[in-house]
Amino acid sequence: MATTTENFLVECSTSKGSFSMTFRRSWSPLGYGRLLALFQDGYYDSTYLYRVVPNFLVQFGVSSDDVMKEKWSWKNSIQDDPLTPERPFKKGTISFAGAGPNTRSADLFISYSANPGLGKSPWESPVGEVTSGMNVVESFKSYGDISAFNKKGPNPNKIRNQGSEYVASEFPEMDYFKRCSIAVPASAKVKTAMVASMESASSGSVFDGGLLLVNVLIMVISGIAVLVILSRICFGKRGRRKAARALNADFEMASLTGKDN
């Protein structure tokens, strides 16, 4: 997973192509934690990019899936993070959408331009930014603003309650997410593989080597014990003396002839 204590990268495929977003804990700690959980849960998969207003923003995050709706509904909203006037909205900035203080749930928007009017509401603290594929983000189909501001525009509540049936009937060209996943950059993959390999090799070598040494010691000790028992059974006290004298005689003969038996 491409996560650290400070940021994570998400790659999303859509009906118009793919783009990437990077979310940053330091920008919005509570929002960051919520989004990490949402993307890990696959919340945005198959959801619609339902509010597309050129030169303003694109909004998304309404699910028609019963399980997702219950799990991530408005009643489970999170507290607002402090606003950051020193971080103004620019093209590609991402923030939660809300309906009042402490109403951040799952709705997000991406700013299409530098907009000094954004970042004023309590819930509008930037949480991330588009890091690649902004051309894709700008290509989403627009049906004008949502029904609250445009009577003919998409109605988020109907999307939530009726899903694809409503969209197919009223807004058949509305774009949508196919899948979003937390991505691992190539460099991180190489590093992770190398570290895992080294740790495995190191721990495996120590463990296997130690196990082998223990087995050898057990075999040696067992062999000595068996020899002692056999010598006592077969030779007795007198037999052991004869065997010792014979062994000494062999050693003396070998010393005189320069040959080993």
CA gyration radius, the chain: 36
3-state secondary structure of 194: helix
Give pLDDT, residue 62. 96
Amino acid sitting at position 241: R
Give pLDDT, residue 194. 43
Give pLDDT, residue 183. 85
CA nearest 92: which of 108, 81, 78? 108
Please, what's the b/e burial string for 216-251 (b: 16 or more CB within 10 A of its CB; e: otherwise)? eeeeeeeeeeeeeeeeeeeeeeeeeeeeeeeeeeee
CA nearest 29: which of 100, 74, 78? 78
> In the numeric block, which tokens belong to residue 260?
């080993």
Is the distance from CB of 173 to CB of 156 less than 8 angstroms?
no
pTM value?
0.70
The number of angstroms, rounded, from the C-alpha of 5 to the middle of its chain's C-alpha atoms is 12
- Per the listing, tokens 């945005």 go with 44
Give pLDDT, residue 192. 44
Is the distance from CB of 236 to CB of 242 less than 8 angstroms?
no
CA distance 85 to 172: 39
Is the distance from CB of 7 to CB of 14 less than 8 angstroms?
no
- DSSP letter, residue 47: -
Give pLDDT, residue 83. 92
Give pLDDT, residue 5. 72
CA distance 135 to 185: 21
Interior CA angle at 178 toward 176 and 184, to 5°? 125
Give pLDDT, residue 75. 74
- DSSP letter, residue 50: -
Is the distance from CB of 17 to CB of 133 less than 8 angstroms?
yes
Q: Side by side, which strands form the sheet with 51-53?
A: 51-53, 57-60, 108-111, 93-96, 128-132, 17-24, 7-14, 177-182
Give pLDDT, residue 85. 84
Interior CA angle at 38 toward 115 and 17, to 5°? 65
Is the distance from CB of 63 to CB of 95 less than 8 angstroms?
no
pLDDT digit of tens for each residue in the chain (261 aa)?
444 578 999 999 999 999 999 999 999 999 999 999 999 999 999 999 999 999 999 999 999 999 998 899 777 899 999 998 889 999 999 999 999 999 999 999 999 999 999 999 999 999 999 999 999 999 999 999 999 999 999 999 999 999 999 999 999 999 999 999 998 644 444 444 444 444 444 444 444 555 555 565 666 566 665 555 555 555 555 555 554 454 444 444 444 334 444
